[in-house]
Amino acid sequence: MKIAGAVFGDTSSSTDGAVRTEPLRYLNLFRLVLAGLFLVAGRSLQLGSDSPILFVGAAFTYLAAVLILGFPDAARLMGTNRLVTVQVLVDITLLTLIMWASGGYRSGIPTLILVALAGAGLVGQSRMVLFYAAYASVAALLENGFRFLSGRESVDFFTVGITCIGFFAIAQVARLLAQRAIANEDLARQRGTDLANQLRLNRQIIQDMQDGVLVVGEGGVIRQFNPQAIALLGPGLRDGGTLKECAPALERELQRRDELGSSAHSVRADSSGMMLLARFLPAGEANETLIYLEDFGRIHRQIQQVKLAALGRLTASIAHEIRNPLASVSQATELLMDEKRSEMQARLIRIIGNNAQRIDRLVGDVLALGRRDEALPETLPLAAFVEEFLEEFSVADAGVDRGIVVSAVRPDLEISMDRAHLRQILWNLVGNARRHCSGQPGAVKISAELLDDGRVALDVSDDGSGIPESLRGQVFEPFFTTHSKGTGLGLYIARELAEANGAVLELCGHAPSALPGAHFRIIGHVKP
């Protein structure tokens, strides 16, 4: 085992930059096979016909040299370049002796010398290969010269000269090929390094993306994902799992992409309940799919931030200009009310006062957009809170019968929200419902239920005509209103306050427990 390991070479040994250890392993293997062939089948190949004793001695010496010079210690002690030189010189010398003992160049030994020179050129790409060729040429000429002088047989020096030229040619060609191979290896190594760096950079970019990224293979098997995908789809996402197990809704949309003919689909995450925009793209030729996930809420918030930034710049500049003349109008109206006036004058004064109040309310709502207070959530018993709210609402809106708004909240339900924020949200929702309901007892209903995921839902519904399908996507937009006296900011502010408490305010479809009109739902946590 030690001998085999030595001959085949140890690529972990010290290596000179000018020497390729991989070809040296195969060259040593060739030498070992050649030495064994000389000893085993030399006589049958008619080698050693002129001097059998010299042939056997040279063959054994060659085998011993191959084994000794093939040990890793030889490369460590001598240096790889020096070791290659010794091996080549030993090859040429012993092969020349075997050629002398086997009848000269007609034995075919010069071909083996050509192989040795080619191997030397491939292993050590330096100019030493020309020295090896010169040494082989001198050895061949000396062998044939001694054979001619001994008078054993005639010698064709022209053929010998051609063979020597072949020594130089094969050595140089092998050297150039080795240099070309080294250059290609260096280029491949550099490109491999660049590719590894690019992959590392891409991986880091994907990890830091705000969008979720998944790679899905055959059968919906999840190959790769980033942390944002976990945040959007839930903690059940794992390597080796399937979309059907971790995100059934996303898996259904993936199956429907060919049917729908679009790469972008809206989907609601099963675990988190978030509305997502999923884009499906082919990933390479391995039947893999690249999935990008975007949070609709984040997209919407970005749009709103752009709108509010422009609104903030506008309101900051005109709020003062509006309120100063508004104060003057209000003061003048109060003074007029103290004077004797006709019925028409009283009516005009009421109109002025009502519109001044409306403008003041609008300015207040606009300024409140940029002053959303920090939420201080607490655990609120829903039934008691709703009853307290309804008492306050009926007092503030004295023209409304208390029975119009009814509560159907279980006494054991609780919600974690800021008390003032929840009051403001309910005030806006119930106020809208009261304006659009029939006015009959029980026309507005407040109900609540515990959801399967452990969160609690607080519903506000009415028996009005509801919200047209064409307008449902705009109800939370700032300044969108269908009421002549509204500012269009109530629902927007309500949703902002809900989000500040980690809750969700959404417009729902008809539910069995809700009235047939508009149906709004607040989904919050039970514990802070």
Q: What is the pLDDT of residues 249-281, one digit of tens each?
A: 777 777 777 665 556 777 777 666 677 878 888
Structure confidence by residue, pLDDT tens digits, 186-220 = 888 899 888 888 888 877 877 777 788 888 887 77
Q: Which residue has the higher pLDDT, 21 or 99?
A: 99
Residue 456 pLDDT level (bands cut at 50, 70, 90): very high
Looking at this protein, which amino acid is placed at residue 9? G
- pLDDT value of position 3: 36
**Mean pLDDT, range 90-103, rounded to an integer:** 82
Q: Which two tokens stand for residue 420?
A: 């003032």
- Separation of alpha carbons 506 and 524, rounded Å: 12
Structure confidence by residue, pLDDT tens digits, 403-452 = 788 888 888 899 999 888 898 899 889 888 888 888 888 888 999 999 88
**Start-to-end CA span in the chain (Å):** 70
- Strand 444-450 versus strand 405-408 pairing type: parallel
Give, in order, the Cα–Cα distances in Å from 272 to each of 212, 216, 231, 321.
14, 20, 8, 46
- pLDDT value of position 16: 40
Give, in order, the Cα–Cα distances in Å from 96 to each of 88, 106, 131, 170, 258.
12, 12, 16, 18, 74
- pLDDT value of position 362: 66
Residue 451 contacts residue 493 (beta carbons within 8 Å): no
- pLDDT value of position 287: 75
**Mean pLDDT, range 174-181, rounded to an integer:** 80
Residue that the structure tokens 């390479």 belong to: 284
Whether residue 15 has pLDDT greater than 60: no
Residue 8 pLDDT level (bands cut at 50, 70, 90): very low
Highest mean pLDDT out of 57-71, 245-259, 453-467, 510-524 = 453-467
Residue 6 pLDDT level (bands cut at 50, 70, 90): very low
What are the φ and ψ backbone dihedral angles of 152, each rounded to 5 degrees? -70, -45
The CA-based angle 102-89-54, given to 5 degrees, is 30
Residue 313 pLDDT level (bands cut at 50, 70, 90): low
Sheet of 519-524: strand order equals: 405-408, 444-450, 456-462, 519-524, 504-507
If you classify domain 210-296 with CATH, what class do you get? Answer: alpha beta
Residue 7 pLDDT level (bands cut at 50, 70, 90): very low
Three-state SS across 407-437? EECCCCCEEEECHHHHHHHHHHHHHHHHHHC
Residue 4 pLDDT level (bands cut at 50, 70, 90): very low
- C-alpha 480, offset from chain centre: 39
Nearest partner of 405 among 421, 420, 387, judged by Cα: 387
Lowest mean pLDDT among 240-244, 306-310, 416-420, 469-473: 306-310
Whether residue 13 has pLDDT greater than 50: no
- C-alpha 131, offset from chain centre: 56
Looking at this protein, which amino acid is placed at residue 111? T
- Separation of alpha carbons 102 and 59, rounded Å: 12
What are the φ and ψ backbone dihedral angles of 221, each rounded to 5 degrees? -75, 130
* 378-524 CATH pick, 3.30.565.10, 3.40.50.720, 1.10.10.10, 3.40.50.970: 3.30.565.10
**Mean pLDDT, range 74-81, rounded to an integer:** 71
Residue 152 pLDDT level (bands cut at 50, 70, 90): low
Mean pLDDT, rounded, of the chain:
76
Q: Which two tokens stand for residue 212?
A: 């979720």
**Mean pLDDT, range 221-242, rounded to an integer:** 79
Q: How many other C-beta atoms are found inside a 10 Å radius of the C-beta of residue 432?
A: 24
Whether residue 2 has pLDDT greater than 60: no
- Separation of alpha carbons 402 and 430, rounded Å: 12
- pLDDT value of position 214: 82
Torsion angle of the four alpha carbons 482, 489, 491, 384, in this order, in degrees rounded to the nearest 10: -120
Q: Is the dihedral of CA 485, 488, 491, 497 positive or negative?
A: negative
Give, in order, the Cα–Cα distances in Å from 267 to each of 102, 223, 249, 259.
85, 21, 7, 16
**Mean pLDDT, range 246-250, rounded to an integer:** 78
- Separation of alpha carbons 266 and 278, rounded Å: 6
Residue 244 contacts residue 307 (beta carbons within 8 Å): no
Q: Which H helix or E strand runs over 86?
A: helix 80-101
